[in-house]
Structure 1
Amino acid sequence: MDMSRTRSTRQRLVVIGGDAAGMSAASQARRLRGPEELEIVAFERGHFTSYSACGIPYWVGGDVAGRDELIARTPEEHRARGIDLRLRTEVTAIDPAGRRVRARDLGSGTESWTSYDHLVIATGARPVRPDLPGADAPGVHGVQTLDDGQALLDTLTRTRGRRAVVVGAGYIGVEMAEALIHRGYEVTVLNRGGAPMSTLDPDMGRLVRDAMSGMGITMVDDAEVTKVLTGDDGRVRAVATQDAEYPADVVVLGIGVRPDTALARAAGLPLGDNGGLLTDLAMRVRGHEDIWAGGDCVEVLDLVSGRERHIPLGTHANKHGQVIGTNIGGGYATFPGVVGTAVSKVCDLEIARTGLREKDARRAGLQYVAVTIESTSRAGYYPGASPMTVKMLAERRTGRLLGVQIVGREGAGKRVDIAAVALTAGLTVEQVAHLDLGYAPPFSPVWDPVQVAARKAVAAVREAP
């Protein structure tokens, strides 16, 4: 019998996951409903809450002074706001029919059931760890949580050698390569594909590869990792591919993440093609009036293609939490979807994308034109002007903007926000070309690089058969 619920007229909100989506939902619900109306219990299996996972590479690299700088709100601050936050407690089962969850105290090992009126699933994502011999050896690290970041830093402090291998060349991989370069390591990046950053088209990814190579990072494309080799002490000593061995004193897995939805799957909750939970616009799990989900464990609507996608970003997670907390708190809010905007950097190279890549457009059955231009961040004659490459996709016949990718130096990355707004508004490339953007020589050429690409896309649309 569940004895965790006292006789009371107030409702109980249970939150699984103490980071961005979960604690944003809990905090927003608390703002709208006081403790006398709504009891809030949050379970977190780690040691920390409400932190920036996106900042971990910069903490590891030394750009951020310490771990606490990444924490937006401590457990004590949440508790002071009337949230019963239970750290080092892992939820092991969800019982939708009984409206309860089972949780294990990781310190004592004891388990108990807790009932709910509203359940928020914010379990996040897990790093992809390849099923390879030696992948679990000491010295091999995934980087997703603050605990992961601390474990990696501890290894870097203890390790005498200065050779690092990063497996994977997506956002996590290139950011960790930069962090390790800053730490004084010799860095090799093993990339399974033909160019880094698979979130870009290959031609734009090759620009990233060339720039990283110029920074002293050894880039190896088409590298299928077969095993992690260990020494007599059991620690990692090298990473093997089909063609070669790469010595390593530390290995970082930057292959990407998958939605952490094992609990949801076991409970029979609906999952999408990418393994993430499916919700309605209010972030309520489809078919379940009392269960909500947000953050890296869900799939979201791509406003450009109309398909569900898994896009793990802290920006989305915080918005999901606000929507969920507002709805549980008695208000009304929705999350309409995304256009797939992301920005990153490796050393002084800025990398950005939004909307569809060429293969995304083909998969969606769209006919398109693609153009690429080179420009500068400022007027060419103004000191500090740096080069950038902009690629733009537009739908044939209609000219609707479909996607933009940008690779360049300082001042390049955040220009993608122009395209993100245009995509959300459904603008055509002709409309983008005529946007009234700010201009002065220290900030932009007369024609902003995004508009230069838009003008070329307009011509391509008109010339397309």
Structure 2
Amino acid sequence: MSMSRVSPRAERLVVIGGDAAGMSAASQARRLRGPDELEIVAFERGHFTSYSACGIPYWVGGDVTERDQLIARTPGEHRERAIDLRMRTEVTEIDIAGQRVRARDLDRGAESWTSYDKLVIATGARPVRPEMPGMDAPGVHGVQTLDDGQALLDSLARTRGRRAVVVGAGYIGVEMAEALINRGYGVTVLNRGKEPMSTLDPDMGRLVHRAMEGLGITMVNDAEVTKVLTGDDGRVRAVVTEDAEYPADVVVLGIGVRPETSLARAAGLPLGHHHGLLTDLAMRVRGHENIWAGGDCVEVLDLVSGQERHIALGTHANKHGQVIGTNAGGGYATFPGVVGTAVSKVCDLEIARTGLREKDAHRVGLRFEAVTIESTSRAGYYPGASPMTVKMLAERRTGRLLGVQIVGREGAAKRVDIAAVALTAGLTVEQMTALDLGYAPPFSPVWDPVLVAARKAAAKVRPA
């Protein structure tokens, strides 16, 4: 008697989160395995997928004219690749033992369970919103998702006044301050630190402070916000600090973000010091063979300090997704870690950093020397040469490069990539002085500013 062969059920990969890490993972897994082998179900609670959150300040400021320019791949395009993408659907529970997730349709309210063989958690991060009176009032906006950006633009369109207060002076705060200036708003930035851009040392942040004031932004440092006041209509009307009150028709929160790991915490998955998920080199959640995590909800290894960090950047999220998708699709890939490179701008002032700040080096017990040099972006005699400040940290005795910060005009920011490569390779500042960098008067002085700093650092660590 002949028996018919029953085809084995395709494995199911469930992805929570439809932006960079989640959909990169889904797309990469699909490239490796077809629908007959791997069913892919993805949940996204918002209205958009695969978009550039980093581009939101430039959309708000008008440099990017259309929202859709920030979208790399639409839900329809993902579905064409045999990915069952369920929009406006929020996962509310992960059942580890039962290998299933509970999801709720945000428009209809219906809830259902979906089983998985493999799970990807890419829940991103959420803007820090301090618990104080008025923080949830209409007119107070975090800016993390495309939905957030649309809500802010809609709010600006309804707002009659032209006074904006930005709370926080990190990357998002500084970029949003410039965006609002471009929109014709009077902007006050309230910063609890000594200088803006806490990712820089204060002496370098001071250069950013001057540039912001040059744009007409009112910069208030050492300002601890205590509450937000609302008017008779319930909308925001002012932000109050310990020392003063600042009128506001709109408030943007630029305090930073935290990993969105409430689901993971409730499921008992391992979280680190910064409340991000902890993974191994393959981006598997530690202790769980069939669960991966990536993007803004995870902590990553800092290759310079050797400690875990939380860094919310699209570059990392996309790389995480590629690694996760390769592994979930049956291949092999790893994500070794980061050196902490980031760039930004205020008008034509470019800001860059990589590696450790002075306080980072102190915290992990490293002894170091710090040098700062002034140079130019091009040969001094070539038209358009502009000043550039480079700060460099090197470890005592070994001379190992520990960190670089650069503030200047055109050509400043991407120079930090030289230092990022040097940090990844573990170069000393002495070795850096011999790097064969590109030179011509329109692009650099004979000694590139990064190499000038390396020479000065090498001379300083040598006697030590």
Task: Provide the C-alpha distance between the structure 2 equivalents of 1:283 and 1:118, rounded to a whole number of angstroms.
Answer: 13
Cα shift readout 1:39-78 (whole Å, capped 9, x = no counterpart): 0000000000000000000000000011000000000000
- 5 Å matches for 1:39-438? 39-438=39-438
Partner residue in 2 for 1:21 = 21
Deviation at 1:214, TM superposition (A): 1.3
AA matched with 1:30: R
Runs of 4 or more above 3 Å deviation:
none
Structure 2: unaligned runs, 5 residues or longer: 1-6
- SS of equivalent residue, structure 1 residue 403: strand
CA distance in 2, matches of 1:215, 1:9: 61
Name the SS of the counterpart of 1:296 in structure 2.
helix
Q: Secondary structure at the match of 1:207?
A: helix
- What SS class does the counterpart of residue 421 from structure 1 fall into? helix
| Secondary structure of residue in 2 paired with 1:265 | helix
CA displacement, residues 182-216 of structure 1 (integer Å, 9 cap, x when unaligned): 00110000000111011011111111111111111
Measure the CA separation in 2 of the matches of 1:249 and 1:445.
47
Matched to 1:260, the amino acid is: E
C-alpha separation between the residues in 2 aligned to 1:60 and 1:432? 40
Q: Tell me the amino acid that sits aligned with residue 196 of structure 2.
A: P
- Residue 174 of structure 1: SS of its match in structure 2? helix
**In the TM superposition, what whole-angstrom CA distance separates every residue of 1:374-396 from its partner, at most 9, and x where no partner exists?**
11100111111111110000000
Shift of residue 110 of structure 1?
Answer: 1.0
Tell me whether 279-288 or 359-368 shows the greater mean CA deviation.
359-368
Cα deviation digits, residues 258-278 of structure 1 (max 9, x gap): 000000000000000000000
1:237-280 per-position Cα deviation (integer Å, ceiling 9, x unaligned):
11010110111111000000000000000000000000000000
How many residues align? The count is 458
Amino acid at match of 2:362: R
In the alignment, the residues of structure 2 paired with residue 135 and residue 164 of structure 1 have an alpha-carbon distance, to the nearest angstrom, of 15
The aligned counterpart of 2:3 is none
**Range 67-76 or range 231-240, more displaced:** 231-240
Task: Tell me how far 1:8 sits from its aligned partner.
Answer: 4.9
Structure 1, unaligned runs of 5 or more: 1-6
Q: Distance in 1 between matches of 2:346 and 2:77?
A: 34
Q: Aligned AA for 1:99?
A: Q
Q: AA paired with 2:86?
A: R
Taking structure 2 as the reference length, the TM-score comes to 0.98
Paired AA for residue 78 in structure 1: H
1:158 Cα deviation from its structure 2 partner: 1.3
Alpha-carbon separation, structure 2, partners of 1:463 and 1:378: 31
The amino acid that maps onto 2:358 is: E
- So what's the TM-score if we normalise by structure 1? 0.98
Corresponding letter in the other structure for 1:237: R
Q: Could you tell me which amino acid in structure 2 is paired with residue 389 of structure 1?
A: T
Secondary structure, aligned partner of 2:384: coil
Instruction: Using the TM superposition, give the Cα deviation of residue 346 of structure 1 relative to its aligned residue in structure 2, in angstroms.
Output: 1.1
Paired letter, 1:181: I
Map Cα deviations across residues 10-58 of structure 1 (whole Å, 9 max, x no partner): 1000000000000000000000000000000000000000000000000
Q: Which amino acid aligns with 1:421?
A: V
Q: What SS does the aligned partner of 1:452 have?
A: helix
Distance 1:261 1:113 in 2: 20
The structural deviation recorded for 1:463 is: 2.9
Q: Tell me, what secondary structure is at the counterpart of 2:385?
A: coil
For 1:353 and 1:97, the matched residues in 2 are separated by 43
Cα separation, 2, equivalents of 1:330 and 1:413 = 38
Counterpart-to-counterpart distance in 2, 1:98 and 1:18:
23
Task: Supply the distance in 2 between the matched residues of 1:349 and 1:151 (Cα, whole angstroms).
Answer: 28
Q: What is the root-mean-square deviation of aligned Cα atoms in Å?
A: 0.7
Q: How many percent identity over aligned positions?
A: 87
User: How much does 1:167 deviate?
Assistant: 0.2
Alpha-carbon distance in 2 for matches of 1:65, 1:79 = 27
